[in-house]
Amino acid sequence: MRHDSDQAPASERGTAPRRGPATGRDGTGKRPAVVLRGASKTYGRGRAEVHALREADLEVPEGELVVLLGPSGSGKTTLLNLIGGIEPPSAGEVLAGGRDLSRLDEDGRTAYRRDTVGFVFQFFNLVPSLTALENVRLVAELTGRGDRERSAAALAAVGLDERGSHFPAQLSGGEQQRVAIARAIAKDPALLLCDEPTGALDLDTGRGVLRVLQDLNGEGRTVLIVTHNAAIAAMAHRVVRMRSGRIVEVAENAAPAPAEEVTW
């Protein structure tokens, strides 16, 4: 387990450590966590055909925090869904978690998602009739890792150890999103995929969520954040820019900013 159950996240401590890029990375010999080769996704047929993603090539080294940036409709969610095994590519290859996702059938993708990927969405998607802790356990149980201690540790890792018995309606938006992050990490996934995780939050609350994501990345987890908010790119090791279904730029950032400095 990589959770630190003794400390609130830096966002709740008075003196947040300024976490730069994950330590110990020397820029060489990093294994790719995700590789796309000519990955495309087309929806519909004939006149209704939509090229949501066109021949995407991308390598995401293990342990990086990557921001996928682009306007609405540019293919960000489509790309994330291919990496997350939610959908297969129409063409090309998607390699992640040691598997070639383009060759997996639906059952194979389900197993890959369950064992390898944590998902965080814009609108939290918590079950309103379950407490925070029960929401975390519900998903962790799918992987056989739904024990109370592990789920409680995940809540502690996002600074919510005191709120486990609260229902979503009793929590602020930022707290709900942190429960959703705890739910995603309770099974200890290698990959954390976040689709507009601050899209429904104000600046301060959004920064708190970004701090949690940066801390999780600092522990060695590979984190992908999809956003249309260019400000968030400042905290990435790598920024992937998309437009009209294409990756138009991939830029490395030698000095990612701490989440506290992100502003919009």
Ligand X SMILES: Nc1ncnc2c1ncn2[C@@H]1O[C@H](COP(=O)(O)OP(=O)(O)O)[C@@H](O)[C@H]1O
Using CB under 6 A as the criterion, which residues of the chain lie in contact with ligand X when the complex forms? 43-44, 50, 52, 70, 72-78
How many degrees, rounded to 5, is the angle at CA 228 between CA 171 and CA 110?
70
The nearer residue to ligand X, 12 or 87, going by C-beta atoms, is: 87
> How far is 242 from 182, CA to CA, in rounded Å?
29
Residue placing its CB nearer to Mg ion in the complex, 121 or 167: 121
Binding residues vs Mg ion (CB under 5 A): 77
Nearer to ligand X, 73 or 173 (CB): 73
User: Which option in ligand X, Mg ion, none does residue 52 bind, with CB closer than 5 to 8 A by kind?
Assistant: ligand X
Least separation in angstroms between CB 23 and Mg ion: 32
- Looking at the Cβ atoms of 38 and 44, the one nearer to ligand X is 44
State the nearest-atom distance from the C-beta of 77 to Mg ion, in Å. 3
In the bound complex, which residue of the shown chain has the CB atom lying closest to Mg ion? 77
Least distance from Mg ion to the Cβ atom of residue 73, Å: 8
How many CA atoms lie within 13 Å of 188's alpha carbon, on the beta-carbon side? 11
**Cβ–Cβ under 8 Å, residues 85 and 102:** no
Distances (CA, A) of 32 to 60, 188, 245: 5, 18, 23
How far apart, in Å, are the Cα atoms of 71 and each of 30, 58, 157, 205? 30, 19, 32, 22
Task: Determine contact, residues 223/65, Cβ cutoff 8 Å.
Answer: yes
Q: How far is the CB of 133 from Mg ion (least distance, A)?
A: 29
